[in-house]
Structure 1
Amino acid sequence: MKIFLARQAIYNKNTKIVAYEILYRNSLKNTFDKNQKQEEATYKVMQNISSFGLNILTKNKLAFINFPEEVINSNMATLLPPDKVIIEVLETVEPTKEIIANLKFLRHKGYTIALDDISTYKQVEGFLGVIDIVKIDYKLSNKAERINIIKKLKNKNIKMLAEKIETENEMIEAKILGFDYFQGYYFSKPTVMESEDIAAKNRTIFYVIIELMKEDYDINRMENLIKSDIGLTYKFIKFINSAYFSFIQEVSSIKNAVMLIGANELRKWLCIISISEMNSNIGEEHANNIIIRARMCELISENKGYNDKDLAFMVGLFSDIHMLMDKSLIDVVEELPIGKEGKAALLGEDNIYSDILNLVIAYENMDEEKIQIISSKTKVNIDKLGEIYLASIEWGSKLLNINR
């Protein structure tokens, strides 16, 4: 499944890039789809940021992201890192009590708040005290109003950004008026970026959300539900290891990840996924077989008493992920937060996890010669493989039946 985003650079007075505005796109066509609801566009931007990687998108600079009223009031912004993201309040948002309270909450959490597409001072008044940046639209405003806004905000510790700058004269004027930041076609147009992603099953997401709504939700059931969906597992592991959390060590266990993120943040993330997902292009039979493969890797690892059965599961689950994403194996594996041993196994390097994976694949294909060689090397009892395989099928069937 192809995903798209666009970014447009934001410059300082020295014409150095200090941030990027991240924009919704649904194709390589560099325009916003007017039929797309603003809140859905923001959810898709948030989801696609996780898939692209925020630091890759922004080259480790700040990201301005548009937030309509519904998304601000949902507090979904807390899924993004406050030191890397600017909450850009759309011009359609009114300064209601609920909006102001939620913007205060976000500022308390460390987020910077910007007002978008401003043309008159009246649009700013209701937001005073909760905003840090005002973006003045050079297409919608006139010079007199721009001067008026800057004059009235001069001593309020608010930065000014001149947007939609298209000519040299506009750029010169904006610098003379004292703007801090600049954005527009004069400097650079938005650049569309394309990547591949895997869709998650909406039914799986639904059942995880239902489980999360219980006060005493079952962590084991949660783990099993997520494990039953390759796309959801991939997205979740990438999300938990994203820049927002900054864990010292990579997290590759679903159960640990669920415990670390907590029910509220997980519920928010799943809601975004469910809103933004398209139908999966992955063949159902293929996906089911991979889940069985992953479980078999896990059970073999557990049977032999190896340290990390969770990693064995991930190696099995992601063993064909490059085919599902139509990208090279090296590129996909590089993005996976599964540690050096897991990556090495997926790239075919010789270690215990690649041995387990190769043994399982050999068993799938009933390649008796390979089964004999690898079993001898790993000291896995061949007589146990049939039992493990049947147990894996049964486990997979139970999980997958949850979603039917």
Structure 2
Amino acid sequence: LKALIYDKDDKLPLLDGATKRQVSLDVLRRKNVLLLISSLEFANDELAILEQIYNESRIHATRLESQYEVVWIPIVDHSIIPLPEEMQTKFENLQSTMPWYSVQDPLFIKKPVIRFIKEVWHFRTKPILVVLDPQGKVVSPNAIHMMWIWGSTAFPFTSLREEALWREETWRLDLLVDGIDPTVLTWIKEEKYIFLYGGDDIEWIRRFVKSASSVASASRIPLEMVYVGKSNKREQVKRVTGIINAEKLSNVWQDQAMVWFFWSRLESMLFSKIQLGRGDDQDPMLQQIKKLLSYGREGGWAVLSRGSNIAVNGHSSTVLPALGGYDEWKINVAEKGFDGAFKEYHDKLHDAAHPCCRFEFPNTIRIPENMRCPECPRLMEKYTAFLCCHDEQGIPGSLF
């Protein structure tokens, strides 16, 4: 750490976020340390979720997974020294909200260190979380994906721990909404039928909600629906959320941070697999994650579950027609259950009309050489793309 942070003998280079007192690097001696490296463009959503995870870990401070400290390493442009007042104010405002340790002055992180962070740890613009063990050895060059998926449970944030956590996971609704929406978790416990859905086409949403409600009523099943937006187009998602609220169409996630976290966790699941060298595994869970990420990019989508068990993960082009064909499959509900009958009919439509799949990767992660389509066994074609979503406040940290 002393190699990273300029530490003159007469300096106390860290600020303790809890006490707001200046402290020396000795407070981190023989501890697991997570270096939170970011620019001053730290999105509020991202920071809020990270604070929530950190604060929850402090509540259970005696647990093994709480035995780590976080240090914010701010990266600023050293070509402008002294820092402009606007930049200094932004740094101080960010620092004041952080409950963990932070570098007292961004200029303590010198140019050669910044070069090292960019070249060796591949920092670009999005925050990364470099993990050091008590001996100061790097055990993960970026554990941010583990943190988003599992929170402090991922401690000590090693690849071995990541592998172990994946072995425990299955494709279920809890995995998608864990730590985001307690209401959905309650529905899961009550074994209700649940539609998670998204997109930005309000006409499709109106038709989908009306059709789903009608089919649920005819089948006499308890159905809950919640709108969770999409992975980009933040302003359009806010507009759609407002319309859903006004027309009382269904439940919605009012807090944009929840929407951001849902999609960031999904992206992190894919990134985590890629980082482990398993981005092209043919395991069913990974294929479903890929599908949902792709659907979230193009058009609308819906996931149907009964309790925790996901029955259908479908694109707008197949989900609505499947609901519309209720008269054809309702005869199977008694034998196969609502979810089983719907899945069987939906899958027939899906097999006849595969929607296109696409993924766009930021240059902050190792892009796989090849990737198989989650809809069919073919290798996907690789393109170089330039993208603009005309959205000044596009979801920070997003894959898209």
- The answer to whether TM tops 0.5 is no
Q: TM-score, normalised to structure 1's length?
A: 0.28
| Higher CA-based Rg | 1
